[in-house]
Amino acid sequence: MALAKKLDPTKVTQSLPISKPESRLYMSFISVAFISLLIGGLMGLLQTLVRSGKFTLPFGIDYYQVLTVHGVILGLVLTTFFIVGFHLAAMGKTVGISEQQLRVAWIGFWMMFFGTAMAATTILLGEASVLYTFYAPLRAHPVFYIGLALVIVGSWIVGFVNWHQLAVWKKAHPGKKSPLLAFMVTINTLMWFIASLGVAVAVLVQFIPWSLGYAETINVLLSRTLFWYFGHPLVYFWLLPAYMAWYVMIPKIIGGKIFSDSLARMSFVLFLFFSIPVGFHHQLTEPGIDPTWKFIQVTLTMMVVIPSLMTAFSLFATFEITGRRKGAKGLFGWFKKLPWKDVRFLAPFIGMLAFIPGGIGGIINASHQMNSLIHNTIWVTGHFHLTVATTVMLTFFGISYWLIPHLRGRKLTPQINRLGIIQAIIWTVGMTIMSGAMHIAGLLGAPRRSSYSEYAGGDQVTEWIGYQMAQAIGGTILFIGIILMVYIFIKLTFFAPKGEEEFPIAEEEEDAEPTPAWFENWKMWIGITIVLILAAYTIPVIDIIQHSPLGSKPFDFPIGR
């Protein structure tokens, strides 16, 4: 490194004021996310109640309609709106936004909003009970697919704004390293763009013409492959904003410094590399993909273990160093110095802990052979309720406690802080029961995405139903947590006392090693990402197309159209 160029280490302002018009945009995104939380959460509650066998849906509402709403509104709408809003706020804070960029970002917002409304309408009319994965050859109403496409394209527009924001900043600050948060947002939007190209191609080229009747048949396996090319990076798109909060905000909240700027950047770059060329691990039990290529993508999948280990090390190193600076003694004395009574720390911390079993479960899921035992069982549902619905959601809640009052010119009061702590505990208890029961029932073979059924009866099924009862109890507790969170959101947005709440951005250690300049080499990062994707997908996709069977005509009757 001695010979390589080093970036100018002089400090640049990392904290710009956020104007009223900016705040309005960011809050619009976040508000849609919280409304989605309420609707999607209610759907989740109804599902667990139906599956308990003690409750039937009123007004002829179908279970799978409810399930489609739950998946689309929480998996796609809540997450994307919150993340895009958070990305914008992080960029506005660190590199700034121009009036023109703001205007373009609003276009993105309205596209996403109308896309969501279109998809929601078709689902509510019972024209799109295809679940959020919309697997062909089940055919939803064309407007459903068009709505989804608009949500994605809208999110791209905001992503382009984010890139432009960084480019403008870099021009104004030649030779300076980009602020860490801006670097992370750029990585995440890059990953999102490259990944969602896959599903965009599937929707625009395959689904829309076929659903409108212009194309007679669809290549089912190709559509699934394109979906999962997108579907796995999607989960990292959810996770990386949580990592941003862990790397950049949490150290500040606990009164510490960033453990290592380069390490944080490196882990994000590795996530960019290894989150996309891995979709086959969702398709391990499919008949038409060569097993060797499945195994290659399994290997690539497991590479994300490396940045995950780096992250775990950095976080706990920050905790320990900070605790010791505050006078902690002994091997674990620093643990007591952490601000347990500060919800901005506690909620994301519980999220970090949930990621330990979540990550282990993920390794099991992607493990070529072990996958056969749990594929499409409710174990998988239990898994992502730990990762996205606990790790990611509790961190997003943790972000909301300071971001919303910061944007609204209000304060997080001790009373709301206390409510937040109660909320985090309710969430933890509810999720432990629900996700735990899902994991166990899944190991016993209980299927996911299925309404209440006694099948042919027998011991096996009786056992599943017992765990479904536990899921209903956990789901009810979680819904109480959701109501409390929405109450907190309203309170923070409209009623908390006026004041200033900090946007926490931690600094590096005084004597930190300078970050190598090659981190700013975006062409290299994008180049390696594309090479990895081509290496993992070119041959198997050609194989899928060359050896594909006749295409499938659309089916409407199974979803009651």
Partner 1 sequence: MIMHLHKYEKIWLIFGIGSLIVFLVVLGYGAFWQGTHPQSHGVTIDPNNIESNEAFKPENLGLTKVSDDKYIVNIAASAFFYDFGKDEEGKTVNHIRIPKGSTVLFQVATKDVVHGFHVAGTNVNMMVEPGYVSSLETVMDKPGTYTVVCNEYCGLGHHLMYATVEVYE
Give dist(CA 71, CA 252) in Å, integer: 34
How far is it, in rounded angstroms, from Cα 403 to Cα 90? 10
Q: Which of residues 236-265 bind partner 1 (CB under 8 A)?
A: 260, 262-263
The three-state secondary structure class of 176 is: strand
Task: Mark whether 232 is an active-site residue.
Answer: yes
Q: Which of residues 392-451 bind partner 1 (CB under 8 A)?
A: 444-451
Question: Which range, of 298-306, 322-330, 344-352, 488-496, touches partner 1 by CB under 8 A?
Answer: 298-306
Cβ proximity to partner 1, 91 vs 263, nearer residue: 263
Structure-token match 């705040």, residue found: 23
- Give yes or no: 385 in active site: yes
Tell me which stretch binds partner 1 (CB under 8 A): 19-27, 231-239, 348-356, 360-368: 360-368
Q: Measure the N-to-C terminal CA separation of the chain; round to a whole number of Å.
A: 64
Q: Which of 459, 494, 497, 498 binds partner 1 (CB under 8 A)?
A: 459
Residue 547 touching partner 1 (CB under 8 A) = yes
Distance, CA of 156 to CA of 162 (rounded, Å): 10
Question: What residues between 51 and 110 interact with partner 1 by CB under 8 A?
Answer: 62, 64
What part of residues 325-344 is at the interface with partner 1 (CB under 8 A)? none
Instruction: Tell me which stretch binds partner 1 (CB under 8 A): 86-94, 295-303, 352-360, 502-510.
Output: 295-303
Q: Residue 98 or residue 538: which is nearer to partner 1 going by CB?
A: 538
Q: Which of 432, 298, 420, 430 is nearest to 371 (CA)?
A: 298
Binding pattern for the stretch 497-536 against partner 1, x by CB under 8 A and - elsewhere: ----------------x--x--------------------
Contact flags string 4-33 toward partner 1, x per CB under 8 A: x-----------------------------
Q: Closest by alpha carbon to 540, among 275, 288, 234, 195?
A: 288
- Tokens 């596209």 belong to 111
Tokens of 178: 């980009």
Number of residues binding to partner 1, judged by CB under 8 A: 78
377 beta partners: 447
The residue among 33 and 140 lying less far from partner 1, judged by its C-beta, is 140
Judge whether 103 counts as a catalytic residue: no
Residue whose C-alpha is closest to residue 131's, from 236, 231, 241: 231
Let me know if 70 is a catalytic residue. Answer: no
64, 349, 384, 537: the catalytic one is: 384
Q: In 152-281, at which residue ranges do the beta strands (DSSP E only) sit?
A: none
- Measuring CA to CA, which residue among 429, 421, 406 is closest to residue 503? 406
Residues between 462 and 501 that touch partner 1 (CB under 8 A): none
How does DSSP assign 46-77, residue by residue? HHHHHHHTS---STT--HHHHHHHHIIIIIII
Q: Which stretch binds partner 1 (CB under 8 A): 32-40, 79-87, 202-210, 219-227?
A: 219-227
Catalytic residue numbers read: 232, 236, 383-385, 448-449
